[in-house]
């Protein structure tokens, strides 16, 4: 297993591992954890890493390539979805997004900036409405709560009590679309 390993140390309390395009391995570690401990952790999770790399390669092989015209149409659909979602959910949530941007992000569905501007990948247009609504509500909830703690999910649950089922649908759709 000779893949580049990037280590990011921060004030976090736990160690986390992910596999990124390339493929490369990302280790998020507490500042206090030494290189030897990180190396043991990565070695212990070698099988998981290899399976994840195989899954990424399979997903890449099966991923559909869209034409520029298709992407332009999906961008328009995504903007409309977002605007309709804002109209439906923002007021009941007591929030107002500062802006909207549609991106070509391939590894994240959406984001919310510190200034409450919301971005969505055009790929939300490929999802079932229940999944795209979850993403919209998720990002709107970040206007109130900037992390993914219990308060954040309580905000989401106020609007979408079935948000866990929607997350499962999102993951299933993601697999089916090869994303």
CATH code at 83? 3.30.2010.10
Residues 126 and 165 in one domain: yes
Residues 162 and 83 in one domain: yes
Structure confidence at residue 119 (pLDDT): 97
Whole-number average pLDDT of the chain:
93
Residues 36 and 119 in one domain: no
Q: Which of 31, 62, 93 is the last residue of a domain?
A: 62
Residues 100 and 173 in one domain: yes
Residues 84 and 53 in one domain: no
Number of domains forming the structure of the chain: 2
Residues 127 and 161 in one domain: yes
Residues 57 and 142 in one domain: no
Distance CA 168, CA 121 (A): 19
User: What parts of the chain have a pLDDT lower than 70?
Assistant: 1
Q: Which of 62, 82, 109 is the last residue of a domain?
A: 62
Please spell the DSSP secondary structure of 56-115, one letter per residue: HHHHHHHPPPPPHHHHHHHHHHHHHHHHHHHHHHHHHHT---SEEEEE--SS-SEEE-TT
Structure confidence at residue 15 (pLDDT): 94
Give the predicted TM-score (pTM) of the model.
0.75
Residue 58 belongs to domain spanning: 5-62
Structure confidence at residue 1 (pLDDT): 63
């Amino acid at each position: 297993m000779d893949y580049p390993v990037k280590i990011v140390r921060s004030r976090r309390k736990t160690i986390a591992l992910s596999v990124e395009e390339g493929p490369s391995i990302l280790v998020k570690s507490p500042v206090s954890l030494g290189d030897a401990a990180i190396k043991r952790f990565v070695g212990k999770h070698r099988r998981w890493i290899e399976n994840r790399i195989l899954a990424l390669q399979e997903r890449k092989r099966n991923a559909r390539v869209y034409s520029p015209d298709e992407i332009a149409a999906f961008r328009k659909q995504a903007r409309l979805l977002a605007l309709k979602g804002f109209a439906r959910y923002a007021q009941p949530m007591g929030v107002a997004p500062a802006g909207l941007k549609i991106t070509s992000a391939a590894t994240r569905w959406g984001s919310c900036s510190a200034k409450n501007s919301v971005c969505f990948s055009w790929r939300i247009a490929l999802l079932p409405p229940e999944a795209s609504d979850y993403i919209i509500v998720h990002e709107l909830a970040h206007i109130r709560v900037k992390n993914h703690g219990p308060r954040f999910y309580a905000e989401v649950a106020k609007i979408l009590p079935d948000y866990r089922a929607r997350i499962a649908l999102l993951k299933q759709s993601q697999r089916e679309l090869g994303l």
